[in-house]
Amino acid sequence: MPTTVSSLLALVPDATQRKRLGGIDPGAGLVVHLCSNASEADRLAHRIGPDVLLAGRGASTTWLVQTRARDPDAFRILWSEKTKLEEAVEAVNRSEADAVLREPFDEHDVVSLFHHGCEQALLRRHTRSLVDELAVRNAELLGFNERLEELVAERTRHLVEAQDRLQESQRQMVQLETQSTVNHLLRGLAHEFNNPLAAIYGYSQRLRRQLAADADSSRRLDVILQEVEHCRTVVQQLRQLGTPLSEQAIRVEPMASLRDGATRLAASGRTSPAIRDVSDQPDVIAAPRALATVFEQVLANAADAGATYVELHGEIIADRVRLQVFNDGETPNEATVANAVRPFFTTRAGEDRRGLGLSTAAALLREQDGTIELARREDGSGAVVIILLPAADPASRRSSSGLLPAITMPATGGLPQVPTTLVIDDEPMVAEILVDALRDAGCNTATAGSIAEGMAEMTRLDVRALVVDLNLPDGSGLDFARRALALKPSLAGHIALATGDSDRGHLDRLVAEHGFPVLAKPFRLEEVRALALRLA
């Protein structure tokens, strides 16, 4: 039964039916309104919004149909006589009415029908309200879906753009890495070419002077000199092409770079030897990406030699850090140790090795004021790669020397010594050309092929001038020169550097920062004589 007050509007033109209907008690919650004509019923319907509509005798189904447009949820009852029952049923079938009140009827059944109609009207209105609300929600949901689709499309577009940018960044990174390796290799090759060119150029100039009377020989030597000049130009172009990749040198933890190198090696599809943890190593000043590439090459060489592990040890020597990478692989022979960092030198040519690994590493370290060399282990089989880099700890950078042991100057007294110009270069032919030119300029000379030999000569001879190669197998010629100057101040103004690095900017920086004149290989004899006069 309805819990709220409902209303029934009855259009009953017949007075007898009105009287009979008016005598029925509808029960609580239902108010019955009786009308005798359609106009009165319409006015009342507009005002009260009835839940049940009843059409009696004399009121056709047309009135019920007309009220549907105003209130489609009202429950419609057609009061039919027994003789017109069939017509009433057809009206229900045509949806013109919802129920038929047939005469004769029981008062109780009528009241039940009225209350059932009220419940149906209430249910219809509630259902319609839900349908309308659902339509609103559906419209909102469609709007949300459209907005969501727009957001998804926009987000997808952003993701695609981000992925494209990431792929482009990765491509550029790979390109930069490749460019860096090629550039440093070109710089290393240019440096290595300048040494034999210096010997060829020097010998040709001397022969040209000695055979000046022989026109045919002079012409042929002029051709050689002209072609060497052309080679110098090509090497200079290679050197310019190999301009170093800009990467800031910062404080770097060596072990982290070593592990980064192992990760790179694994990414290339190769197996890296295991890295054994040892005590902490001093931090260095280096370009992080370049140093990781150096360690990648060191690990690759160790793997090629059959090493199963590597250990990284480090110690501070004055303002430098000496890093030693030990491995348990094959012990290198003397030829391998001597030529390890030279381009295209390899002991595994049959395994499609190109011999560019450590030479690339040497070129990368050269840009970081560092060096690299290969040695045999003294504590067993295997090899050790020694890397020198600037120390990161400012407190340890009080000295400019990486030479151990220190140079001990000779005691005064004993046999008189001849003032000597010491030439230190690991290329014998280049050293010979320098010695010949210096002797022509009136200098007494001596030679050494390494820092160790140079230290011995410094203690044995009265060295008054020094010409030292910038890159020596066992260390930096610049460090040797600074240490020699610190121990013997009288060498000030009498020290020069020789280098196969033909980068004019780099050479100018050496002169500006350290005050040493620089002789670039290959050099003309006139340049050597001018240098000799300057050092005298």
Q: 437 in a domain, yes or no?
A: yes
- Same domain (yes/no): 254, 237: no
Q: 119 in a domain, yes or no?
A: no
Structural domain for 168, as ranges:
133-241
Token readout for 216 is 């045919």
Alpha carbons 225 and 215: distance in angstroms, whole number: 15
Token readout for 266 is 């694994």
The CATH number given to whatever domain includes residue 146 is 1.10.287
- Same domain (yes/no): 453, 512: yes
Token readout for 60 is 């056709």
- Overall number of domains in the chain: 4
- Same domain (yes/no): 16, 45: yes
- Same domain (yes/no): 384, 255: yes
Reading the chain (536 residues) residue by residue, the pLDDT tens digits are 444 689 999 998 988 888 888 888 888 889 999 998 988 988 998 888 899 999 888 887 888 888 888 889 999 998 888 788 888 888 889 888 899 888 888 888 889 988 999 999 999 999 999 999 999 999 999 999 999 999 999 999 999 999 998 888 888 777 666 666 666 666 666 666 676 777 787 778 878 778 777 887 878 878 887 777 777 766 665 655 554 445 778 899 999 889 998 998 888 788 889 998 776 789 999 888 888 888 998 998 899 888 999 999 988 887 889 999 999 988 988 888 887 777 666 666 555 555 556 777 877 787 777 888 889 988 888 999 999 999 987 554 433 333 333 334 444 444 346 788 899 988 888 888 888 888 877 888 889 988 888 888 888 888 888 999 888 888 888 888 888 888 888 888 888 888 876 566 666 666 666 678 888 777 777 777 788 777 76
Q: How far is CA 398 from CA 263, 319, 373, 475, in A?
A: 35, 6, 25, 19
Token readout for 159 is 């993701």
Q: 471 in a domain, yes or no?
A: yes
Q: 31 in a domain, yes or no?
A: yes
Q: 339 in a domain, yes or no?
A: yes
Token readout for 384 is 């050790």
Q: 117 in a domain, yes or no?
A: no
Q: Is the pTM of the predicted complex or chain greater than 0.95?
A: no
CB under 8 Å to 445, separation ≥6 — which residues? 420, 421, 422, 423, 434, 435, 438, 439
Q: Domain boundary at 86, 105, 124, which?
A: 105
Alpha carbons 445 and 494: distance in angstroms, whole number: 14
Token readout for 368 is 């970081």
- Same domain (yes/no): 467, 347: no
The CATH number given to whatever domain includes residue 444 is 3.40.50.2300
- Same domain (yes/no): 275, 375: yes
Q: 20 in a domain, yes or no?
A: yes
Q: How far is CA 49 from CA 46, 110, 130, 395, 436, in A?
A: 6, 21, 20, 98, 127
- Same domain (yes/no): 338, 381: yes
